[in-house]
Amino acid sequence: MDKNYSTTNASSTVPTPSQIRKHKAMDESALELAQTINSSHEILVTATTVFPFTLFPDTVTLDRAKLTIAHREFFWTSEVMSIRIEDILNVTADVGPFFGSLKIFTRFFSTDKPYTVSFLHRRDALKIKRILQGYVIALQKNIDCSTLPTPELANMLDDLGR
């Protein structure tokens, strides 16, 4: 009986080939997830709406994975919406002499009523529009942007979106 017990115990410490493959797959998945998390913290551009016109300023942030819009209505409250870059169909910027607004068309919002962020600085609205449009074009052409450094990627997408 002791012999059976020790054999069972010994076999449980030696991983089988399927367990090894499973652990390697888990390690690769964990590594890929960690890389995705790190890249999602690399911000390409961010902008905030102008204070006197919006009492609680909204924030628009574009990173390597998504566009995040934080809409604030009162102190310490906000509605945060994230849209994957792949789900964005088009973005337009309406600009005047001082201010601009973004209209974001996605797969999920009605094409008649896009999501709008108003009262951005003119230059911020145009910059976000160009970078986001460049990113959409790059993804449609299956261009891998993950290897480029963040500042260089932002400049290249800005040029592509012009």
Q: Domain containing 132: what range?
A: 43-160
Of residues 135 and 112, more confidently modeled: 135
Question: What is the reported pTM?
Answer: 0.74
Q: What are phi and psi of 112, to 5 degrees?
A: -75, -30
- Let me know: does 68 contact 76? Beta carbons within 8 Å: no
Q: What is the pLDDT of residues 102-129, one digit of tens each?
A: 999 998 877 778 889 999 999 999 999 9
Residues 114 and 64 in one domain: yes
Q: Cα angle vertex 126, ends 122, 130, to 5°? A: 170
Specify the CATH number for the domain of residue 57: 2.30.29
Residues 85 and 130 placed together within one structural domain of the fold:
yes
